[in-house]
Structure 1
Amino acid sequence: MLTIHAAELLLPGDRAPVPGGAVLVHGDRIAAIGPYEEVAAAHPAARVRRWGGTLTPGLVNRHGTALLEHTYFPDDPFELDALGAEPLTGPALAGLAPNEARRGNSARRCTQKLLARGVVAVGARLTTPSVRTAVRRAGLEVLPDAAPVALDSFDPALLDPLAGVALADAFRAPLVVGGGARFAVFGVGDEEGLLVRGAEVCVATVIGGRLVHRRR
């Protein structure tokens, strides 16, 4: 099925922004990019998803090793009384000593947080089999992590792929015709607003043409 994803602003990643832009998805690939009126006119039978805000290439989180291998995300609500709500790192994580299953479940919870921030790829060295499985099932691409971060305490900014980086540096790859359909939509209408608000304003994430996150 052909699906048009239309937004107030389209940032292809390698060319000028397109106000009122759209991306046409066929299967797991991008079939067309341009102003919505042109894409829709050329493909009148396509299903249309209209998004408020800005559509961008999917983002990369470079802190995958720290988040997935060296942080434990408690299971809300079942572990909150025993562990609290804050992710565990450093000595607290060592004291918990989670087994393989708990580490995999933590990674699954982490991947959901990443998808909810428009992330389609992580820089990571994944050594735990259950963690690798969780990441693969989420559809996230794994890139080399040259400098893993050792954590003594958890910093929420590690979850935000836009924290401390230029917007273009956070993109996994530009949106191109024939390329993979991996992109995100954020609930702000301009680049400046996106950088100020951060990736938490993500309203939708698409990987392989599938809607893997949608804000409810």
Structure 2
Amino acid sequence: MRTLHVAPLLRFTLDDEPRPDHAVLVSGDRVEAVAPVDELTGAYPEVRVRRWAGTLGPALLHDGPLPPAPSPRERVHALFRLGAAAVLADHVTDPALRAAAARNEVAVLAAARPPALVVGGRADLAVFAADGSCVATVVAGRLVHRRA
């Protein structure tokens, strides 16, 4: 199923200038298109649309130990509340934590790489409010966190 993620502003990279009236079309676990909202809604009139308040862009790489929590699953979900969809392998050496990351499709990377929205790339997205807090996180095309 395709989903169109729409926010008032969109960034292709974390330090890219925000673009107004753009959206990300996700199909399965991949970014199918990034374009102006009107263009995508015109081309895909029946697509499910999720509208977010804030700035939409790539999900973050968490470069440090995972937040403390009672269980590995909760530690992974704490990442989602931060807008992260990837971690460095050095920080998930515990087998239970690595398994929880795998079950939740968190990307475990050998080396840091700058997050970016890329057509054909994995659909790891995050929406951030003006104060920097995470509004929503999408990992491999799946909504895993939404602030109430």
- Pair in the same fold by TM > 0.5: yes
- 2:66–2:79 CA contact under 8 A, matched in 1: no
Percent identity over the alignment is 47
Partner of 2:140: 208
Counterpart amino acid of residue 30 in structure 1: V
- 1 CA distance for matches of 2:93 and 2:33? 38
- 1:62–1:123 CA contact under 8 A, matched in 2: yes
Instruction: Return the TM-score normalized by structure 2.
Output: 0.88
SS in 1 for 2:99: helix
Residues matched between the structures, number: 146
Larger CA Rg, structure 1 vs 2? 1
> Moved runs in structure 1, 4+ residues, more than 2 A?
14-17, 124-128
CA RMSD of aligned residues (A): 2.1
Q: Which runs of 5+ in 1 are unaligned?
A: 76-104, 147-168, 189-196
- 2 CA distance for matches of 1:49 and 1:3? 7
Instruction: Give, in angstroms, the shift of residue 206 of structure 1.
Output: 0.7
- 1 CA distance for matches of 2:6 and 2:147? 16
Return the structure number with greater helix share: 1
Instruction: Return the TM-score normalized by structure 1.
Output: 0.62
1:131/1:10 Cα in 2 relative to 1: closer, same or farther (>3 Å)?
same
Partner of 2:39: 38
Spell out the pairing of 1:1-216 with structure 2 (5 A cutoff).
Answer: 1-13=1-13, 16-63=17-64, 66-67=65-66, 72-73=68-69, 75=70, 105=71, 107-125=72-90, 126-144=92-110, 171-172=114-115, 174-188=116-130, 197-198=131-132, 201-216=133-148
SS in 2 for 1:136: helix
1:128/1:3 Cα in 2 relative to 1: closer, same or farther (>3 Å)?
same
Q: Which runs of 5+ in 2 are unaligned?
A: none
- 1 CA distance for matches of 2:32 and 2:66? 34
